Chains A and B, each alone.
Chain A
Amino acid sequence: MAPATARKDLLWANLVHISFEMWWDRELPPGAERKYYEARPHLRVDDALWNDILAGMHAAGMNMIVLDLGNGIAYESHPEIAVKNAWSTARLRDELAQCRELGLEPIPKLNFSACHDVWLHPYDRMVSTPAYYAVCAELIAEVIELFDTPAFFHLGMDEETAENQRLLRYAVIRQYDLWWHDLNQLIEAAQDGGSRPWVWSDHLWRHPDEFFANMPASVLQSNWYYDDNLNPEDPEVKAYAQLEEHRYDQVPTASNFAGQTRNLQKTVELCTRVIHPDRLFGFMQTPWRPTQEEFRAIHMDAIEQVARARAWYEGTRR
């Protein structure tokens, strides 16, 4: 099917988590900072908030919702990874239809970074084995079918470092050519299903030479930087210009996850200057919270920030 958003329109996307088993693989002590990042055995999606997020995005003029599925779906190919109360595939199809009715192109995300793959349990402890490769390929194929061959498939692949896994019980880091080998397997699986692969770009921060030598131009890039002040000298901010220099298509990503009020606006201002319109596919907002009532305010604020940034952008086009 034709994607709801032709590429002549800038994407205004919001990342929403159906699963949140993507950070700590253990229970954190009571009172721990950001305790919601711990893995829990049940689905963390409140229907009322979910519906309000969709309505809010529609009202804000947004046109894409990226759904981080994780173990929030009872996959037919791998039901063993689902959390309690995971959405059935039928429920997912119904919700995707609702997204489309609201003008929101649904795009799947499965994060295969070893830093964010608790949702894959038990396969998160078998990374880079034949069993792991088979599960990844099967899940990608099933999700592509469920999404009716989406234009993009976000594969994650961020923060696979020891530092980012310092709080995990089981830390895995693929290094050198193995990281690329595994990324290429995932890319191939997405492309075989008919979707364009999409990844986080932070591998570039740590390995710029190998990134530009090995990253296919066919992979959509989401660099991300979450401070309100975009210091152009910061390597993470410079990455936008580096990706443009190497002519990658981009969806720059911002956040309000730590109370930022201007990060998205600043990201839009910077990236509309440094990225050629042909390669600037749009922007993505990320609140990085479970889709639960206790986080309603931050979800709604994220959408309001998109509305303001989008209004500013539209104003510059007139």
Chain B
Amino acid sequence: MATETGSGELIWAYLVHLGYNMWCDHEHNLDPNGPSHIAAKDYLRFDEPLWRELLPRMRDAGVNMVVIDIGEGLRYESHPELAVKGSWPREKLEEELAVCREFGLEPIPKLNFSACHDVWLGPYSRMLSTKPYYDVVRDVITEVSDIFKTPRFFHLGMDEETAEHQRFYQYCVIRQYDLWWHDFTFMAVAVEEAGPRPWIWSDYAWHHPEAFFEKMPQSVVQSNWYYGGEFKPDIAYVKAYDQIEAHGYDQIPTGSNWSTKDNFEGTVRYCSQTIPRERLKGFLQTVWRPTIEEMRPKHLEAIACIERARNAFIEDTNR
């Protein structure tokens, strides 16, 4: 497709959340010190005027890919029971994907199947690793791949599946040992059968490096992530970029303005120096805020960070 970034062109991606039921399984955040906006809601949180504003901003900043975390934001025809009030019908999502392409933004789907981030899966988030669960996983992957017209990549999430990350949930689930790998492999195969290339967060490598490098297929695109301001190889999360490179994986390093505005530029600088171009597929910026008006400044700041980092990268490359 004309709007796709060519396989040789560096990806400059931005993660946008259509659904947002991914961090809390209660209508109130049970963490007394945590943000209220992560609470699970039975209605869609997505302000279209802001979305409409972000698309040209992304284009102008040099972004060429938008990763859409769909969650409960789509009224899946295969599983309408996952929808909340206001979930987009298939036609609406298809229209919006067309708009993305018109702005030169390659749309890539993300469905996070980590047990830590699957509140959007409704009743199935309490029956992981069962036949009904596997059926739903395959069905929604197939449906979404079709809606996105067989995208290049399909982000499966799979981050932070630990008890610590679910300590404020009512229902904590952790797949351990071979079961995590069994389920991840099931998802990856479902994606590959639908046509896209699987893409995941890489933080499982932080906790289980030996199993990760023994079992993770090279075909899976890796997004390690680190949101701090300091970049040194003795920081474990930074070192993971080097470890993943040492094992020959394709990477899309991920930054954020979650903690500091300087992170994305630091991520681009560090990773462009340590990961050879043939395995550095690009970069992903994340704001981790819902796409709602009150979060407008953080979104605009995140996109501005991409522009700054990209310009510095181009300047360095041309020097």
A-side residues, CB < 8 A to B, are 26, 122, 125-129, 131, 162, 165-178
Contacts and interface: CB of A to CB of B under 8 A. Distances in A.
Contacts of A174: 170-172
Nearest to B128: A125
Nearest to A161: B163
B127 interface: yes
Contacts of B178: 26, 169
Contact of B130 (A126, A167, A169): A126
Interface in B93-130: 123, 126-130
A131, A165, A171, A174: which has the most chain B beta carbons within 10 Å?
A: A171
Top 10 A-B pairs, shortest CB-CB distance: A162-B163, A178-B170, A169-B179, A173-B172, A171-B174, A126-B127, A125-B130, A129-B126, A169-B177, A176-B170
A129 B123 CA distance: 7
Given A175-B170, A176-B170, A177-B170, A170 B175 contact: yes
A69 B231 CA distance: 56
10 contacts: A128-B171, A162-B163, A169-B175, A169-B179, A171-B173, A173-B171, A174-B172, A175-B167, A175-B171, A176-B30
Interface string B150-193: 00000000000001001111111111111100000000000000
Q: Most A CB atoms within 10 A — which of B128, B171, B175, B177?
A: B171
A125 B167 CA distance: 19
Nearest to A160: B172
Contacts of B26: 176
Nearest to A122: B130
Nearest to B161: A171
A170 B129 contact: yes
B176 A128 contact: no
Contacts of B172: 162, 171-175
B126 A127 contact: yes
Given A125-B129, A127-B126, A129-B123, A170 B30 contact: no
A173 B30 CA distance: 15
Contacts of A129: 123, 126-127
A167 B176 CA distance: 8
A2 B169 CA distance: 44
A176 B176 CA distance: 23
Given A26-B177, A168-B176, A178 B130 contact: no
Given A126-B130, A129-B126, A176-B30, A170 B171 contact: no
A125 B179 CA distance: 12
Interface string B35-73: 000000000000000000000000000000000000000
Nearest to B124: A129
Contacts, number: 65
Nearest to B26: A176
Contact of B171 (A26, A165, A172): A172
Given A129-B123, A172-B173, A178-B170, 10 more contacts: A26-B177, A122-B130, A125-B129, A129-B127, A168-B176, A170-B174, A172-B172, A173-B163, A175-B168, A176-B26
Contacts of B177: 26, 169
A279 B306 CA distance: 68
Contacts of B128: 125, 170
B170 A170 contact: no
B280 to A, nearest CB: 35
B126 A171 contact: no
A129 B128 CA distance: 11
B179 A175 contact: no
A282 B30 CA distance: 39
A166 B170 CA distance: 19
Contacts of A167: 176
Contacts of A170: 128-129, 173-176, 179
A172 B170 CA distance: 10
A122 B133 CA distance: 12
Contacts of B126: 126-129
Nearest to B131: A122
Contacts of B170: 174-178
A135 to B, nearest CB: 13
Contacts of B171: 127-128, 172-175, 178
A177 to B, nearest CB: 7
Contacts of A126: 126-127, 130
Given A162-B163, A175-B169, A176-B30, A125 B176 contact: no
A206 B210 CA distance: 33
A171 B126 CA distance: 12
Contacts of A175: 167-172
Contacts of B163: 162, 171, 173
B124 to A, nearest CB: 9
A143 to B, nearest CB: 24
A126 to B, nearest CB: 4
Contacts of A125: 127-130
Contacts of B167: 175
A162 B163 CA distance: 6
Nearest to A131: B127
A169 B128 CA distance: 12
Q: Which interface residue of A125, A128, A162 has the most chain B CB atoms within 10 A?
A: A125
Nearest to A130: B123
Looking at A166, A173, A177, the one whose CB has the most chain B CB atoms below 10 A away is A173
A34 B30 CA distance: 37
A165 B179 CA distance: 14
A171 B163 CA distance: 9
Contacts of B30: 176
